[in-house]
Amino acid sequence: MGYPEKLLSDGERIEMEMRPHWRALLVPGLVLLGIIVGLSILFSLLGGWDGFVGSLSRTAFVFIAIFLFAVFVVRPFLYWITTQYVFTNRRIIVRSGLVSKHGKDMPLSKVNNVSFDISVPGRVMNYGTLTIDSASDEALVIDGVPNVEQIQREVNHLHEEDDERRRGRDQDPPQAPSREAEGQ
């Protein structure tokens, strides 16, 4: 699911598009595994419980497992799948949310500084936090960026290209002298 081209301005093109690092799915995966193992153990222990109490216990454990699955597995996965980091030749776009959407855009023309922070687990798994300081707004902090050092260099490169594009547009081409001025 890519970022819709119809949401881009004229002349704007997508340079990079990504999701948060896959490590965001580690904990939900472990929780899923724990739910499956836990239910298996509980059902084997309750195997001898026949009748109303055993049936009620199994039903209660299944509902608890469904709740845990929805909150600790499905919700983080939906957050991960609906979060996008999009870098265009003119702006940085961060979007997340399935039902309620959250987004932030930062024009490359407002970028003052691009920095990154990588923790020890981030060094091992190759992710980090990208911080983009703006001239007028609060900083844009993007957590869980894969290959954060490479992305930082690319954002700096995009910022320089955007500066050159805007300088070229702002400079007026030299005007040829008008014919009236030549005749005088």
- What one-character-per-residue DSSP string does 63-103 give? HHHHHHHIIIIIHHHHHHHH-EEEEESSEEEEEE-SSS-EE
Residue 165, pLDDT above cutoff 60: yes
Residue 164, pLDDT above cutoff 50: yes
Residue 182, pLDDT above cutoff 50: no
**Least-confidence region, from 58-62, 134-138, 142-146:** 134-138
Q: Is residue 19, in this structure, part of any structural domain at all?
A: no
Q: What integer pLDDT is reported at residue 54 of this predicted model?
A: 67
Residue type, 127: Y
Tokens of 61: 């454990």
Total structural domains within the chain: 1
Q: What integer pLDDT is reported at residue 99 of this predicted model?
A: 85
Q: What integer pLDDT is reported at residue 175 of this predicted model?
A: 52
Bigger pLDDT: 142 or 166? 142
Rounded to the nearest angstrom, the gap between the alpha carbon of residue 80 and the centroid of all alpha carbons in its chain is 8
Mean of all residue pLDDT scores within the chain:
86
Q: Is residue 66, in this structure, part of any structural domain at all?
A: no
Residue 72, pLDDT above cutoff 70: yes
Print the domain residue range for 147: 91-170
Inter-residue contact 152 to 167 (CB < 8 Å): no
Q: Is residue 127, in this structure, part of any structural domain at all?
A: yes
Tokens of 55: 């049936």
Residue 183, pLDDT above cutoff 70: no
Q: Is residue 128, in this structure, part of any structural domain at all?
A: yes
Q: State the Cα–Cα distance between residues 60 and 116, nearest whole angstrom.
A: 46
Q: Is residue 80, in this structure, part of any structural domain at all?
A: no
Q: Is residue 12, in this structure, part of any structural domain at all?
A: no
**Least-confidence region, from 57-71, 102-116, 161-175:** 161-175
The three-class DSSP label of residue 38 is helix
**This prediction's pTM:** 0.76
Bigger pLDDT: 24 or 45? 24
- List Cβ neighbours of 126 (8 Å cut-off, separation of 6 or more): 21, 146, 147
Q: Sorting pLDDT into bands at 50, 70 and 90, what band is 4?
A: confident
Q: Is residue 29, in this structure, part of any structural domain at all?
A: no
Residue 104, pLDDT above cutoff 70: yes
Q: Is residue 4, in this structure, part of any structural domain at all?
A: no
Q: What integer pLDDT is reported at residue 48 of this predicted model?
A: 63
